[in-house]
Amino acid sequence: QVHLVESGGGSVQAGGSLRLSCVVSSYSYSGHCIGWFRQAPGKEREGVALIRTGGDDDITFYADSVKGRFTISQDNGKNTVYLLLNSLKPEDTGMYYCARRGGGCSSTFMMDKAYFGYWGQGTQVTVSS
């Protein structure tokens, strides 16, 4: 059984920062793909960043809209994936979810949430102008 719990959301002004956490509970943490997705009201859920879990080097992918502002990372010892959100904009507002898929990670998987079989409950990020 795989269980994901997000935390760290909140309300900030434009230009501010937040760090989201996703604690992953599963039989095996390493060798999978964790993604952060977000969904604004009335919009489709979109991929933000991916990371290959475990290993010595982080393999990461980012959506163009967040490159240079968001950073995905992990703490293997804590089975936790983080998403650092810097230089936040009002358009970054939404519910942020982490999700896991078994096996490899590729930028392709950011394009469709259907690739991910396990989801957390989400954490809300609100950015005011």
User: What is the model's pLDDT at position 1?
Assistant: 87
Question: What is the phi/psi pair of residue 115, to 5°?
Answer: -70, -15
Whether residue 64 has pLDDT greater than 90:
yes
Percent of the chain at pLDDT > 90 equals: 81
Question: What is the phi/psi pair of residue 14, to 5°?
Answer: -55, 140
Per-residue pLDDT of 74-114, as tens digits, reads 999 999 999 999 999 999 999 999 999 988 898 889 888 99
User: What is the model's pLDDT at position 104?
Assistant: 84
User: What is the model's pLDDT at position 12?
Assistant: 98
- For the chain, what is the mean pLDDT? 94
